[in-house]
């Protein structure tokens, strides 16, 4: 049994992009492995944010993960800032992290271009991400494609730390991608992302799902109903792969390639399958909203479990790095 760690920022709603890219996989993995999943609030604050709403967004993301199918009896679910060891290990890992690697990260370059003044926190973002995973010595990290470069750097940090302070202490974590590793926005232009306003929310009601899906971009080369399409480059087909059964996917792909139906027919089938999958989640979210203590209890218990594991790792990390024990 592997140990799994992954995280999600409380920077907006859970949408079908981060659901299909990561969270759907998390729900499956909790039946197979020992899993920890975290709402990474300390990562979210590296972007300009409104402090007054952060706590509420953090709680809402935790609620969304439970509604999407994470089960606190199977997984440890917690808020990153509730386990102080994340920031401690972050500092200790900066010692072996090459500055040039941080400056080369695509996400850093993209985000820093959009900000007037770039903080050291934004640069340090991937080191904190490495600390998240290494604190639990997790080996499997289910993420979307946009996180692969951070995972590569994480492995580099492991190799450097192990070489200096203890061979094989940290395992090298592996990314696990889902089939829908990169869901595009409904406009077909960029990654689906709340900040771009091109999402379908996980808890959107049925009529809104259809309203958004109907005009969604498909294979741009398929100009008319009579032209055959290519599902391999169609974002709507990517979404089918997350919500439709394998036999339906095969049928959809065949009808697309042979111009056996139009894109609207294809979207109608997808909308039905999405609505069937998402309705129980929307209902669970409503039930959890009516009982806010439930989410807080889950997060309290999750942080206690995570802290116990984190303390074990940190005791050994401090020792290997030569720090004087407090009780000496
Ligand atoms: P975040 O919060 O941006 O996204 C959460 C997860 O969803 C995936 N994702 C997508 N996958 C496919 N298509 C999309 N349009 C899409 N949008 C989001 C992301 O790849 C991610 O897996 N840095 C991370 C959070 C993090 C983390 C960690 C992840 C912090 N510490 C440790 C793994 C391990 C992030 O910003 O995810």
Ligand 1 contact, 97 CB (< 6 A): no
| C-alpha span between 14 and 59 (Å, rounded) | 12
Ligand 1 contact, 192 CB (< 6 A): yes
Confidence check: pLDDT of 328 > 80: no
Q: What is the pLDDT of residue 196?
A: 86
The backbone region for 98, taken as left when phi is positive above 0, alpha when psi lies in -120 to 50, beta otherwise, is: beta
Homologous superfamily of the 3-183+291-321 domain (CATH): HUPs (3.40.50.620)
pLDDT mean over 65-80:
98
Ligand 1 contact, 182 CB (< 6 A): yes
Tokens linked to 169 = 């202490």
Can you say whether the dihedral through the CA atoms of 182, 239, 175, 11 is positive or negative?
positive
Ligand 1 contact, 253 CB (< 6 A): no
Domain residue ranges in the chain: 3-183+291-321, 203-287
Residue among 318, 314, 311, 309 at smallest CA distance from 4 = 309
Q: Which atom of ligand 1 is nearest to the CA of 126?
A: 23
Confidence check: pLDDT of 115 > 90: no
**What is the β-pairing status of strands 34-39 and 75-79?**
parallel
Residue 21 is classified by DSSP as I
**Could you tell me if 51 and 18 are in contact, meaning their C-beta atoms sit under 8 angstroms apart?**
no
pLDDT mean over 141-167:
97
Homologous superfamily of the 203-287 domain (CATH): Tyrosyl-Transfer RNA Synthetase (1.10.240.10)
Q: Is 325 exposed, middle or buried (0-12, 13-18, 19+ CB in 10 A)?
A: exposed
| C-alpha span between 61 and 67 (Å, rounded) | 10
| C-alpha span between 7 and 147 (Å, rounded) | 11
Helix pair 246-257, 263-289: axis angle to 10 deg: 150
Question: CA 323: distance to chain centroid?
Answer: 34
List pLDDT tens digits, range 196-211.
Answer: 889 999 999 999 999 9
Q: Which atom of ligand 1 is nearest to the CA of 143?
A: 22
Choice from 18, 123, 127, 200 to test ligand 1 binding pocket (greatest atom count within 8 A of CB):
18
Confidence check: pLDDT of 166 > 90: no
Residues with a known catalytic role: 111, 191, 194
pLDDT mean over 152-168:
96
pLDDT mean over 28-32:
98
Choice from 144, 182, 193, 217 to test ligand 1 binding pocket (greatest atom count within 8 A of CB):
144
List pLDDT tens digits, range 215-227.
Answer: 999 999 998 999 9
Distance 289 CA to ligand 1 centre (A): 24
């Amino acid at each position: 049994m592997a140990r799994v760690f992954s995280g999600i920022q409380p920077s907006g709603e859970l949408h079908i992009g981060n659901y299909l890219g990561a969270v759907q996989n998390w729900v499956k993995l909790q039946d197979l492995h020992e899993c920890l999943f975290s709402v990474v609030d300390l990562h979210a604050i590296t972007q300009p944010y409104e402090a007054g709403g952060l706590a509420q967004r953090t709680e809402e993301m935790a609620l969304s993960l439970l509604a999407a199918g994470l089960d606190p009896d199977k997984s440890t679910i917690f808020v990153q800032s509730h386990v102080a060891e994340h920031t401690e290990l972050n500092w200790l890992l900066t010692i072996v992290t090459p500055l040039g690697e941080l400056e080369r990260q695509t996400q850093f370059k993209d985000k820093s271009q959009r900000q007037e003044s770039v903080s050291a926190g934004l640069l340090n973002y991937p080191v904190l991400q490495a600390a998240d995973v290494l604190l639990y010595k997790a080996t499997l990290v289910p993420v979307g494609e946009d996180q692969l470069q951070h995972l590569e750097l994480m492995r580099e940090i492991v190799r450097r730390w192990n070489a200096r302070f203890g061979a094989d202490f940290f395992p090298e974590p592996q990314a696990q991608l889902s089939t829908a590793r990169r869901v595009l926005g409904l406009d077909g232009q960029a990654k689906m992302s709340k900040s771009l306003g091109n999402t379908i929310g996980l808890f959107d009601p049925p009529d809104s799902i259809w309203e958004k899906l109907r005009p969604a971009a498909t294979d741009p080369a398929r100009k008319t109903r009579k032209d055959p399409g290519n599902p391999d480059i169609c974002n709507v087909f990517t979404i089918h792969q997350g919500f439709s059964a394998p036999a339906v996917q095969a049928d959809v792909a065949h009808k697309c390639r042979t111009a056996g139906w139009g894109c609207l027919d294809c979207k109608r089938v997808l909308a039905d399958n999405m609505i069937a999958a998402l309705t129980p989640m929307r209902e669970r979210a409503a039930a959890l909203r009516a009982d806010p203590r439930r989410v807080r209890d889950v997060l309290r218990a999750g942080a206690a479990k995570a802290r116990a594991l984190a303390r074990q790792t940190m005791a050994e990390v401090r020792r290997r790095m030569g720090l004087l024990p407090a009780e000496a």
